[in-house]
């Protein structure tokens, strides 16, 4: 296989464009002499994200993985509860469930989008089912109208993994506002970045906002009541008493989870603000690349293109197509030809239910036959990120034509 640094068309290590605009934002922050943590830029970034996504609350954290972990915490799961999720995603989506003593059921995916298939949900719901955790694979929103009808009928909370979906729309609404909790990633490889790492949770519930703000800020997520008067009150005339916080006027009855520091830096927020302003142009560039690839693949009956559903605006974080079996060329042959031509292919993602952590809990082959067949035999992911040049795109198209010819 070709070494990474030799690829003519690399997969995206950086999924957005960074240039002088981001450098200027960082310089302005440093020159301002303002605080570098929990300052104005984080507040503005969150305000802009609330407006963009359309939820009452948008709280930044240090990564998408942290966002998913905190989202699962908010579900209030108890040992013996059941959660349904999808096998076709990055492991960070389902891994938080390993620590709760819950039973996880993997629901198979649709052949066209690789999103969770609503047709399989009903059979997996039982008396102890409490939640559904799904991903908008590759930036194509899942079938949320039908999913939410099922979820509401059974009283399930729905967590959307929107790591791929910033910039997408579903019937006029944004992913992250379609379920109960949305989780985003601003990792280097995503559609925008907050200086390499960063995450976001979106929802409408005020009580969750209070708990999450405490958890990300070194405070405990607990159940409190007012302290009796005899406990005493701080002397606010002494400046050092500001560090007492609310310790004097509350008593903790129970601790749900100790707090930690998941604060997005002001530098990350400053870069994120610039990136968010550039999101439309970068999503448009992804869409243009995806359109060129699709037009080329339609020339070959051996290729099956993933169609975009009506009412959906695709964010094109990933470009996925499928090699039809029995048409004279296999998927692995196509990948080998692309690799030889200098086009990097990364298959996203190995089915989660077949990872060792989940096999150790009784999951295995045959559980999600569609996801298994597609990943092992048909699925191909191509580079599709805005930093690709026109010349690199044309090289990739020539390589595709050569592979299928």
The residue written with tokens 């200086």 in the block is 195
For residues 382 and 336, membership in a common domain is answered with: yes
DSSP 176-226: TSSSSEEEEE--TTSSS-STT--EEEEES-HHHHHHHHHHTBT--EEEEEE
For residues 207 and 308, membership in a common domain is answered with: no
- Of the candidates 404, 384, 238, 266, the residue with the CA atom closest to the CA atom of residue 324: 404
User: Quick one: pLDDT band at residue 228, thresholds 50, 70, 90?
Assistant: confident
For residues 144 and 195, membership in a common domain is answered with: yes
The residue written with tokens 């963009």 in the block is 52
Does the pLDDT at position 190 exceed 70?
Answer: yes
On whether residue 34 sits in a domain, the answer given is yes
Structure confidence at residue 315 (pLDDT): 98
Does the pLDDT at position 249 exceed 90?
Answer: no
> 115 burial class (0-12, 13-18, 19+ CB within 10 angstroms)?
buried
Q: What is the CATH number of the domain that holds 308?
A: 3.90.1150.10
DSSP state of 306: P
**What would the pLDDT profile of 132-186 be if each residue is shown by its tens digit?**
999 999 999 999 999 999 999 999 999 999 999 999 999 999 999 999 999 999 9
Residue 22 sits in which domain range?
18-215+258-266
For residues 151 and 179, membership in a common domain is answered with: yes
CA–CA dist 38, 294 (Å, integer): 44
Structure confidence at residue 6 (pLDDT): 84
Does the pLDDT at position 238 exceed 80?
Answer: no
CA–CA dist 181, 166 (Å, integer): 14
On whether residue 271 sits in a domain, the answer given is no
For residues 196 and 341, membership in a common domain is answered with: no
SS3 358: helix
Does the pLDDT at position 33 exceed 90?
Answer: yes
On whether residue 75 sits in a domain, the answer given is yes
For residues 200 and 223, membership in a common domain is answered with: no
Q: What is the CATH number of the domain that holds 36?
A: 3.40.640.10
pTM of the predicted protein model:
0.94
Last residue of a domain, one of 266, 301, 332: 266
- % of the chain at pLDDT higher than 70: 94
For residues 247 and 177, membership in a common domain is answered with: no
The residue written with tokens 């989660």 in the block is 352
**What would the pLDDT profile of 267-324 be if each residue is shown by its tens digit?**
999 999 999 999 999 999 999 999 999 999 999 999 999 999 999 999 999 999 999 9
**Run of H or E residues at 170:** strand 169-170
Cβ atoms of 289 and 389 within 8 Å: the answer is no
Does the pLDDT at position 234 exceed 60?
Answer: no
On whether residue 197 sits in a domain, the answer given is yes
CA–CA dist 399, 393 (Å, integer): 10
For residues 226 and 304, membership in a common domain is answered with: no
For residues 185 and 286, membership in a common domain is answered with: no
First vs last Cα of the chain: how many Å apart?
21
Does the pLDDT at position 259 exceed 90?
Answer: no
CA–CA dist 387, 252 (Å, integer): 51
CA–CA dist 294, 303 (Å, integer): 10
**Run of H or E residues at 42:** helix 40-53
On whether residue 7 sits in a domain, the answer given is no
Q: What are the Cα distances from residue 372, in Å, to 86, 229, 323?
A: 12, 63, 14
Sheet of strand 319-323, all strands in order from the earlier edge strand to the far edge: 303-305, 319-323, 379-382
CA–CA dist 49, 185 (Å, integer): 13
**What would the pLDDT profile of 342-393 be if each residue is shown by its tens digit?**
999 999 999 999 999 999 999 999 999 999 999 999 999 999 999 999 999 9
For residues 204 and 223, membership in a common domain is answered with: no
Task: Report the domain count for the chain.
Answer: 3
For residues 86 and 161, membership in a common domain is answered with: yes
For residues 197 and 340, membership in a common domain is answered with: no
> 165 burial class (0-12, 13-18, 19+ CB within 10 angstroms)?
buried
Structure confidence at residue 252 (pLDDT): 86
On whether residue 11 sits in a domain, the answer given is no
> What's the chain's average pLDDT?
94
On whether residue 380 sits in a domain, the answer given is yes
Does the pLDDT at position 246 exceed 70?
Answer: no
SS3 137: helix
| Mean local confidence (pLDDT), 207-220 | 94
On whether residue 327 sits in a domain, the answer given is yes
Cβ atoms of 231 and 262 within 8 Å: the answer is no
Structure confidence at residue 214 (pLDDT): 94
Does the pLDDT at position 401 exceed 50?
Answer: yes
């Amino acid at each position: 296989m070709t070494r990474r640094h030799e690829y003519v068309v690399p997969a995206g290590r950086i999924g957005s464009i960074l240039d002088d605009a981001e450098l200027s934002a960082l310089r302005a922050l440093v020159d301002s002499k303002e605080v570098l943590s929990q300052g104005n830029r984080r507040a503005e970034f969150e305000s802009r994200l609330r407006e963009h996504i359309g939820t009452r609350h948008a709280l930044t954290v240090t990564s998408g993985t942290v966002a998913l972990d905190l989202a699962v915490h908010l579900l209030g799961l108890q040992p013996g509860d059941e959660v349904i999720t999808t096998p076709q995603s990055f492991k960070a989506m389902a891994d938080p469930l390993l620590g709760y003593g819950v039973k996880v059921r993997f629901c198979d995916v649709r052949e066209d989008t690789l999103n969770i298939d609503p047709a399989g949900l009903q059979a997996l719901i039982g008396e102890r089912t409490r939640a559904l955790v799904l991903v908008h694979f590759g930036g194509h929103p899942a079938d949320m109208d039908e999913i939410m009808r099922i979820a509401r009928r059974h009283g399930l909370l729905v967590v959307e993994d929107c790591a791929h979906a910033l910039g997408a729309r579903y019937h006029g609404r944004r992913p992250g506002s379609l379920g109960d909790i949305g989780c985003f990633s601003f990792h280097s490889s995503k559609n925008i970045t907050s200086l390499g790492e960063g995450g976001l949770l979106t929802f409408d519930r005020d009580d969750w906002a209070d708990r999450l703000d405490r958890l990300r800020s070194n405070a405990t997520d607990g159940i409190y009541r007012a302290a009796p008067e005899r406990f005493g009150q701080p002397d606010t005339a002494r400046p050092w008493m500001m560090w007492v916080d609310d310790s004097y006027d509350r008593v903790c009855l129970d601790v749900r989870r100790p707090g930690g520091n998941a604060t997005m830096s002001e530098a990350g927020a400053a870069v994120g603000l610039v990136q968010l302003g550039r999101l439309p142009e970068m999503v448009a560039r992804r869409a243009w690349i995806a359109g060129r690839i699709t037009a080329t693949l339609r020339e070959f009956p051996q290729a099956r293109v993933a169609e975009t559903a009506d009412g959906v605006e695709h964010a094109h974080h990933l470009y996925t197509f499928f090699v039809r079996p029995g048409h004279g060329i296999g998927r692995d042959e196509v990948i080998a030809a692309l690799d030889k031509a200098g086009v990097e292919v990364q298959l996203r993602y190995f089915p989660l239910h077949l990872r060792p952590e989940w096999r150790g809990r009784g999951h295995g082959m045959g559980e999600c036959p569609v996801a298994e067949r597609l990943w092992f035999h048909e699925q191909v992911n191509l580079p599709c990120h805005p930093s690709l040049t026109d010349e690199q795109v044309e090289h990739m198209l020539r390589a595709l034509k050569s592979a299928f010819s």
